[in-house]
């Protein structure tokens, strides 16, 4: 069984919030010219699928950050 983890992903440009449903259970935040995508409780398979969708949208991936839960590492 894969561990679930939260991620903060930064892509270049402002991704319209209407894409959130297609990308899965994610939320968007905008910082400067970039979109920050918050992906809750994702395993490696879900993260890989999200990256494939970024490729399909021709998005530039700037960073991926693993976010520890408040209770510490799982």
Model pLDDT for residues 29-64, shown as the tens digit of each residue: 999 999 999 988 888 898 899 999 999 999 999 999
Please check whether residue 39 lies inside any domain of the structure. yes
pLDDT category at 74 given cuts 50, 70, 90 is very low
Number of independent structural domains in the chain: 1
Give residue 22's domain range: 11-58
- In eight-state DSSP terms, residue 30 is E
Instruction: Please state the rounded mean pLDDT for residues 6-27.
Output: 89
44-71 core/surface letters (b: 16 or more CB in 10 A; e: else): eebbeebeeebeeeebeeeeeeeeeeee
* For residue 72, pLDDT beyond 90: no
Please check whether residue 72 lies inside any domain of the structure. no
Question: What are the tokens at 59?
Answer: 């998005």
């Amino acid at each position: 069984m894969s561990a679930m983890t939260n991620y903060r992903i930064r892509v270049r440009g402002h991704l319209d919030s209407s894409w959130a449903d297609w990308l899965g259970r994610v939320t968007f935040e905008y910082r400067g010219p970039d979109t920050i995508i918050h992906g809750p409780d994702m395993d490696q398979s879900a993260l890989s699928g999200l990256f494939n969708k970024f490729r399909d949208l021709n998005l530039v991936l700037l960073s991926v950050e693993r976010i520890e839960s408040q209770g510490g590492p799982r």
